[in-house]
Amino acid sequence: MLRYTLMRLGVFVACLVVVWGLVYSGVAPRGLGESNGMWVVLLALVISAPISFVVLRKERDRASVGIVNRVDKMKANLDANRTQEDDADDAARAQTS
């Protein structure tokens, strides 16, 4: 998951540099008044999202498999704990009966 996050951040930074260059060279519009910095960041976000979606597909799938495995392991641990509690409760009730 960390690898995917860092790769996504890298795509965003690359888009930010390209958009910044385009805005300051006059190819892309500068924004309104004092909004130039915000304009550059928002434009970089809008451009980097679909690029990340396409380029990082395999890494995203790998990260999601890791997340699913962790969730399954946590569910198994919770079920095991629940079973232990039920068994202990049943044993305590059997002793008091």
Domain span at 97: 57-97
Q: Are residues 63 and 79 in the same domain?
A: yes
- Joined tokens for residue 10: 């890298």
Q: Are residues 23 and 49 in the same domain?
A: yes
Q: Are residues 67 and 48 in the same domain?
A: no
Q: Which 3 state secondary structure label does DSSP give 88?
A: helix
Q: Are residues 3 and 50 in the same domain?
A: yes
Q: Are residues 36 and 81 in the same domain?
A: no
Q: What is the pTM of this model?
A: 0.68
**pLDDT tens, residue order, the chain (97 aa):** 888 899 999 999 999 999 999 888 888 777 766 668 888 999 999 999 999 999 999 998 998 999 999 999 999 888 888 777 667 777 777 777 6
- Joined tokens for residue 81: 């704990």
DSSP label at 28?
A: S
Rounded Cα gap, residues 12 and 56, in angstroms = 12
Helix, strand, coil percentages, rounded to 5, for the chain: 85, 0, 15
